[in-house]
Amino acid sequence: MNYNGKGFPEYISKDNFGKITNINSKWLNKNKFNIDDGLAYVYAMLNSKEYRRKYHNDLLKDYPHVPIVKDKDKYVEIGKKLISLHLNYEQVPVYSNVRVLKNYNDFSVEKMNFGEKANSKEKDKTTIIFNKYISIKNIPMKAYDYVIGGRSAIEWIMDQYRVTKDAKSGIMDNPNDYSDDPKYVFDLLLRIINVSVQTVDLINQLPPLEIEK
């Protein structure tokens, strides 16, 4: 979530009633959704490119208005797939349709960078230089279309999983210490490439916004 974003829990607790849904029950009943279907529908809608274009100005000023479309079952179906994909990203298989160039079996990371296009200083996003021994090539450009908070998911990983030192405390933050698996960061990057490609494919399958009257 963005630092200035707003989030809403799926469930809330009230008095002695225990856990209850935070989704409006009248809205669920009106549209014949159960709780999971309602959540999936909203998630798919908020990921829709057409929805974001249509309601762009409104989203800058207010909470999102979620319209009901004619093909809402398809939105529920795709929403469930997106939720599963995004919650379980660490279990997603590594993306295999890339070419890994490796001249030494060292998967430690200091700072990932993009390659450069031939005879140019322009970044080549089809290539990520993982470390001085390993490069990943043939990354599909559409993977960068999955954007979170103004930046692709891939670029978030590249930015967050690098060795840094706090200027005041001098404390080092080393992503190589996050797991006992020496390939954790490398595999995570390949998983996020896969998540990104699948996300873009799923979003592109969303039907047009034919809003029910």
Chain segment 14-27, per-residue pLDDT in tens: 666 677 788 888 99
Write down the pLDDT at residue 212: 81
CA atoms within 13 A on the CB side of 116: 5
Nearest residue to 80 via CA among 205, 213, 212? 205
Write down the pLDDT at residue 81: 99
Q: Give the helix ranges, DSSP H, for 92-172.
A: 153-160
Query: Rounded to whole angstroms, what are the CA distances from 94 to 62, 143, 179, 193, 195?
Result: 38, 13, 17, 8, 9
Query: Rounded to whole angstroms, what are the CA distances from 14 to 8, 21, 129?
Result: 15, 10, 51
Instruction: Name which residue leads in pLDDT, 125 or 56.
Output: 125
Instruction: Tell me the per-residue pLDDT of 165-180, one tens digit each, with 9 for 90 and over.
Output: 999 999 999 999 999 9
Q: Read off the tokens for 134.
A: 């390993």
Q: Round to whole Å and give the CA distance between 54 and 190.
A: 33
**Please, are residues 37 and 29 in contact by the beta-carbon 8 Å criterion?**
no
Q: Round to whole Å and give the CA distance between 149 and 3.
A: 9
Instruction: Tell me the per-residue pLDDT of 103-116, one tens digit each, with 9 for 90 and over.
Output: 999 999 999 999 99
Q: Helix, strand, coil % (nearest 5) of the chain?
A: 40, 15, 45
**Please, are residues 128 and 158 in contact by the beta-carbon 8 Å criterion?**
yes
Kindly state the average pLDDT of the residues 60-77.
Answer: 92
**Amino acid (1-letter code) at residue 190:** L
Q: What angle do CA 3, 115, 184 make, to 5 degrees?
A: 60
Q: Round to whole Å and give the CA distance between 90 and 86.
A: 9
Write down the pLDDT at residue 1: 47
